[in-house]
Amino acid sequence: MTNTQMPAVRPSRPATTPATGAAQPSARDRGTRLLATLFLAPTIVGIVVFTVVPIVGSVVLSLFHWNVIDSPRWAGAANYREVFTDSTVLVSFRNTLVFMVLAVALQLLIALVLALAVNGRMPMWLRSVFRSAFFFPLVLSAASISVVMKYLFNQDFGVVNWVLGQVGIAPVPWLTSEHSAMAAVILVYVWQQFGFSFLLFVGGLNNIPKEIHEAASLDGATGLRKHLHVTLPLLSPTLLVATVVGVINALQVFEQPYVLTDGGPGDSTRTVVMVIYESAFEQLRFGEASAVGVLLFVLIMAVTALQFRLSRRFVHYQ
């Protein structure tokens, strides 16, 4: 886009121009500005109504005690104090962070390896089959997938343990042991989610000019070395996007642990969003639930900001 189009949205006014009317926009500019506003209005209204208002509402609600039935009562910081002393909430934050680190790392690794493999030499039709197959779980409902997976991972009657049993491995209490439940939840989550990162990586790999790879090959780079020193740096902007989106999604994980383990055994797979749901809709503590929501929002913002800050060092734009 050229600079000549910019005034249509925001007419520039030279810093030295006196404010008294010399830079008044023309009738045409005003018309264009109105048109732009009209085009943007649905999106702006949507964002305001469905994002900004709920966020502000949550912040306000976090300062009140509210159980839906009675009128809200002023609580000040009491909900936040309660949150910081509630062991279930603290454990849920720890679980969510552990989940985020492991799930995102695994998701990116699998997606990257498969993207590199699919991007290699293979017939076009087979490439299309793989792309569709890897992306397909993403379009399914997480709750439906989790219901099916709950059957598969059942310790006594599940197919997974039956298969393991065929090769002499004892039944694993996938969903009923504190040690394996989180692993099962992560596996199910990653299986569904990696398709998004996979598609991003396939797109990113296609955007890397072939000449660079050819030049690297001429210089003697091969295999893993070429990927580490050529592909990965050139893919780093895509990797940043995939990581940021992956982290934000992982910090809000709900369906998989809710359906698979209901947060158990104990609190071992209870996540922050589960605590928000339980506090609000099961225990009618909407103020406390909002306080947890506000803290999660702050956490997501902080982690995202940190990622962008770190990206200055690790991300290379061509």
Partner 1 sequence: MTDSHLTRRTLLRYGAYGAGAAALAGTAASWDRLTGADIPGRDDGSLVVATLGPAYGPEAIRTLTEGFKKVHPDIKLRINAVQATDWSDFFAKILTQIAAGTAPDLVYVATEGVQLFAQRLGVALDAWVKRDAAELREYFADVHPSLVESMMYEGSLYQLPVEFNAADMYLNSQVLKRAGAGFPAADWTRDDFTELLRDMKKSSGSQFTPYFWTNRLWGGVVPWLFANGTNLLTESKAPGGAWLWDGFYPSAARQGRGGGFRWTTPQATDARVEESYDYLASLIQEGLCTRPEGGNGQNLIGVFSTGRVGVTPAGGFWAGGLHLAGMEPGSFDVQYFPRWRTQRMQYGAAGYSLLRTSKKQDEAWEFIKFAARRDTLMRLFETNQTTPARRSMLTADRYRESGPRHWQVFYDTLDKFPDTGPIPAPPQVAEVEQVLLKHTGTALSSRRSVGPALRRMQSDLEKAMERDV
Instruction: Single out the residue of 262, 298, 305, 310 in contact with partner 1 (rule: CB under 8 A).
Output: 262
Residue 259 CB neighbour total at 10 angstroms: 19
- Judged by CB under 8 A, does residue 178 bind partner 1? yes
Distance in Å, CB of 21 to partner 1, minimum: 7
Query: Residues 37, 144, 206, 283: which binds partner 1 (CB under 8 A)?
Result: 283
Choice from 2, 4, 5, 20 touching partner 1 (CB under 8 A) = 20
C-alpha pair distances (Å), 129 with each of 119, 125, 126, 210: 13, 6, 5, 24
Least distance from partner 1 to the Cβ atom of residue 83, Å = 14
Judged by CB under 8 A, the residue of 32, 191, 265, 311 near partner 1 is 265
Task: Kindly indicate which of the ranges 9-17, 53-61, 98-106, 298-306 contains the residues binding partner 1, using the contact rule CB under 8 A.
Answer: 9-17
Applying CB under 8 A, which of residues 55, 219, 266, 305 lies at the interface with partner 1? Answer: 266
Looking at residues 187 to 246 of the shown chain, list those that interact with partner 1 (rule: CB under 8 A). none
Say whether residue 284 binds partner 1 (CB under 8 A).
yes
Interaction between residue 96 and partner 1 (CB under 8 A): no
Q: Check if the beta carbon of residue 234 is closer than 8 Å to that of residue 318.
A: yes
Cβ neighbours of residue 164 under 8 Å, at least 6 residues apart? 170, 171, 172
Footprint of partner 1 (CB under 8 A):
13, 15, 17-21, 67-69, 147, 150-151, 154-157, 162, 165, 173, 175-178, 261-267, 278, 281-284
